[in-house]
Amino acid sequence: MMNNPLYQKNIISIADLSRNELELILQTAHSLKQSPQPELLKNKVIASCFFEASTRTRLSFETAVQRLGGSVIGFDSGGNTSLAQKGETLADSVKVISSYADAFFMRHPQEGAARLATEFSQIPVINGGDGSNQHPTQTLLDLFTIYETQDTIDNLNIAFVGDLKYGRTVHSLAQALSLFNCNFYFIAPDALAMPDYILEELDNKNISYSLHQSIEEVVDSLDILYMTRVQKERFDETEYQHMKSAFLLDAQILNNVRANLKILHPLPRVDEIHKNVDSTPYAYYFQQAENGVYARQALLALLLTNQFQTKL
Amino acid sequence: MQMLQKKLQVEAIQHGSVIDHIPAQQGVKILNFFKFTQTNEKVTIGLNLRTHNGKEKDLIKVENTFISDAQANQLALFAPNATINQIKDFKVVKKFQVQLPDSFIDVFSCPNSNCITHNEPVATRFYVRKGLHLKLKCHYCEKSFSRSFFKELD
């Protein structure tokens, strides 16, 4: 039987994945969510190395491993380990750890760390976040959630709200979605607008997008509303108070939305989604977080086994 | 040879390399780039020289130094239309135009101070995005930079 195209591959950047590979990951996540396979990774040891702490991602990833029957080794917050204290290079740490395990999941505060790790690792590397650069497993769970709730990723109306300038997750998701045929709505204060290099990439792919000053303007046309937080520290107090309401979500503007609308957020949410939204049928951010387990399971299944093939 | 047909603005050299058709204002960058200010060989420099079509150019001649094709292509970042003449016994024995390479490996350090390459045993790698706004993209941190971020060899 032929290997699936992701077998033993590294997952470092969303830009490395083709549309077919993305679809394979989503189908596999769907399959594992419907039909769990608690022995798929029996006898596999997976390294979970957080050189920078992130409890949410770590818990999600480690659950993914354990629910497939694998075991986890690793650490949370590399600052406490002798790796950091004795001044070992990342290259050396990766060489050693990769000799113990079957796959290597890592988060690191510096950009390029995961890419570097692939040069010194004898096992597949999965990037759990490298500084301000990539966080591909977040994008995969976002895509899976969109696919799960809309039955498709093509021809959707998707709004991105909040901090579009510094938001790693929105850049990555917009890039991944540009492989499909969606319409984007960017809703952000001018100072936090989607950067030009992303808009150029979208122009080059003939993806349509529009810029807006409030959620209310477009909410009735949306299939997906992806919320992110505007950090008030980035603005002076009066400026922030004046504009924030346009970018905060309250249930009262949801009276005429589409029945299939789903509201997503990478979490943690602070005040940008009011609690009154949680009980509407549109809130889906906690289910989205749960999907992190299935998206990460899908990656592990494809990288380490040959049981899942393209179904097209 | 073209160089000896008219009065030279910069003295001829016996053996070495001539980097010609450097855009005005880039000559000093190229001197620093190749560390020609640190060599013991004779270096002659012409800045803001008038060319036959009225524009200005910079020019560098270095004795007993031969610039390889790979080095020449690196300087294409600053001088896309530069030509290299290799001189032996006052004669041009080889002349070629620089061509911007597709990537720069182990040449520059990454302008992103948070890029992992700064403290790790890897060669830096930048992919060239040609076009109206030339950019170099770091293979590791994936950030893109315009050429003004790159001043000299690492």
- Distance from the Cα of B24 to chain A's closest Cα (Å) equals 30
| Per-residue model confidence (pLDDT) at position B5 | 53
Quick one: closest CA in A to B140, which residue? A112
* Chain B contact for A89 (CB, 8 A cutoff): yes
What's the CA gap between A216 and A246, in Å, rounded? 8
Q: Which of A146-155, B113-122, B143-152 has the lowest mean pLDDT?
A: B143-152
Q: At a CB cut-off of 8 Å and minimum separation 6, what does A259 contact?
A: none
For the question of residue A56 being annotated catalytic, the response is: yes
**What are B2-26's pLDDT values in tens digits?**
555 556 667 788 999 999 999 998 8
Three-state SS for B153? coil
Whose tokens are 């702490």? That residue is: A53
* Mean pLDDT across B63-82: 88
Residue among A89, A108, A133 whose CB faces B119 most closely: A89
Tens of pLDDT along chain A (312 residues) come to 567 999 999 999 999 999 999 999 999 999 999 999 999 999 999 999 999 989 899 999 999 999 999 999 999 887 667 776 678 899 999 999 999 999 999 999 999 999 999 999 999 999 999 999 999 999 999 999 999 999 999 999 999 999 999 888 999 999 999 999 999 999 999 989 999 989 999 999 999 999 999 999 999 999 999 999 887 777 888 888 877 888 899 999 999 999 999 999 999 998 899 999 999 999 999 999 999 999 999 999 999 998 876 554
| Per-residue model confidence (pLDDT) at position A84 | 66
Chain B residues with beta carbon closer than 8 angstroms to that of A91: 120-122
What's the CA gap between A197 and A188, in Å, rounded? 16
Residue among A111, A132, A197 whose CB faces B144 most closely: A197
The DSSP result for A75-129, as a single string, is EE-GGGSHHHHTT--HHHHHHHHHTT-SEEEEEESSBTHHHHHHHH-SS-EEEEE
| In contact, B107 and B62? CB cutoff 8 Å | no
Cβ neighbourhood burial of A25 (10 Å; 0-12, 13-18, 19+)? buried
Three-state SS for A132? coil
Q: Model-level pTM?
A: 0.89
Output the CA torsion sign for A113, A118, A119, A121: positive
**What ipTM was assigned to the predicted interfaces of this complex?**
0.90
Is the Cβ pair A15, B142 closer than 8 Å?
A: yes
* Mean pLDDT across B138-143: 96
Output the CA torsion sign for A51, A55, A56, A58: positive
| Per-residue model confidence (pLDDT) at position B121 | 94
What's the CA gap between A281 and A263, in Å, rounded? 9
Residue among B114, B122, B139 whose CB faces A110 most closely: B114
pLDDT band at B53 (very low <50, low <70, confident <90, very high): confident
| Per-residue model confidence (pLDDT) at position A230 | 85
| Per-residue model confidence (pLDDT) at position A145 | 98
Chain B residues with beta carbon closer than 8 angstroms to that of A133: 141-143
| Per-residue model confidence (pLDDT) at position A239 | 81
Three-state SS for B85? strand
**Best residue in A93, A111, A196, A197 to probe B by mutation, most B CBs within 10 Å?**
A111
The DSSP result for A38-69, as a single string, is TTTTTT-EEEEEESS--HHHHHHHHHHHHHTT
Spatial CA neighbour of B48 closest among B63, B58, B40, B38: B58
Around A244, how many Cα atoms within 13 Å sit in the side-chain half-sphere? 19
% of chain B surpassing 90 pLDDT: 55
Chain A residues with beta carbon closer than 8 angstroms to that of B121: 89, 91
What's the CA gap between A152 and A23, in Å, rounded? 10
Q: In this model, does residue B132 exceed pLDDT 60? A: yes
| Per-residue model confidence (pLDDT) at position A91 | 96
Average pLDDT, chain B: 88
A129 versus B74: the higher-pLDDT residue is A129
| Per-residue model confidence (pLDDT) at position A312 | 41
Instruction: Count CB neighbours of A127 within 10 A.
Output: 26
